[in-house]
Amino acid sequence: MDFDLMITSLPKLLSASLITLKLLSASLIAGIVLGLLFAILRLSKNIVINQFAYGYSYVFRGTPLLVQIFIIYFGLGQIEYLRSTFLWVILKEPYWCAIIAFALNTGAYTSEILRSAFQTIKPGIIEAGKSLGISSKIIFYKIQIPIAIRQSLPAYGNEIILMMKGTSLASTVTLMDLTGVAKYIISTTFKPIEVFIVAGGIYLFMTFLIHNLIKYLEKKYSFQ
């Protein structure tokens, strides 16, 4: 065991974990918006809209995240037309490509989580709202959405943790996140176990924090 290496690599890995957190929070925020949008589209009675939303979640859940990042980072740059538009400013940066891929990926999972939450809301709650003369728009925004979000908290907590692990793939498109820096240190020192313990410890600590945050929110917003 090389304890010196563990101590000297800790600050580097900690500052790299800030990038991991940035990637995670940016993609989660965009992913929630996408997820809510597509969950609502999934519930639509129009078959075209419905199937479009289903196709989105099917494709992004059925393919590895790595493929999605590579298509966006390496693939889209190939289209000549895109290079001349303002989108190119975003798409040439690996940072934004990674966030776009993560957001689309977590958006697909989030839409499934929210959809099943919407579908498990008891019809009695909506009927109660209707009989009180509340308009269906307000029922949706003030009753259905808050209940669905509460219902989906445990599953969404798992999704946050999966996404945090997913951000490690940013290292494959040259970003120096926690895994990227860990790999760099391993390949220069050839001490994989020490670096794994430190980097893995940081990841586990983040998992622990997320887990407890979700538990706290679940308790705070419980119905009882």
Q: Is 141 in the site for another protein (CB under 8 A)?
A: no
Least separation in angstroms between CB 187 and another protein: 7
Least separation in angstroms between CB 200 and another protein: 4
- Interface stretch with another protein, choices 71-79, 94-102, 109-117, 148-156 (CB under 8 A): 71-79
Total site size for another protein, rule CB under 8 A: 40
Instruction: Give the C-alpha separation, 92 to 74, whole Å.
Output: 9
Instruction: Give the residue with the Cβ less far from another protein, 149 or 186.
Output: 186
- Transcribe 136-163 into DSSP letters: HHHIIIIIIHHHHHHHHHHHHHHHHHHH
- Check: CB of residue 30 under 8 Å from CB of residue 103: yes
Q: Is 85 in the site for another protein (CB under 8 A)?
A: no
Q: For residue 73, how many other CB atoms are within 10 A of its CB?
A: 22
Residue type, position 68, single letter? Q
Least separation in angstroms between CB 58 and another protein: 8
- Check: CB of residue 39 under 8 Å from CB of residue 114: yes
Binding-site string for another protein from residue 86 to residue 125, where x marks contact by CB under 8 A and - marks none: ----------------------------------------
Whose structure tokens read 């997913």?
166
Q: Is 183 in the site for another protein (CB under 8 A)?
A: yes
Residue 30 exposed, middle or buried by CB count within 10 Å (0-12, 13-18, 19+):
middle
Task: Catalog residues that contact another protein under the rule CB under 8 A.
Answer: 58-59, 62-68, 70-71, 74-76, 78-79, 161, 164-169, 171-172, 179, 182-183, 186-187, 190, 192-193, 196, 199-200, 203-204, 207-208
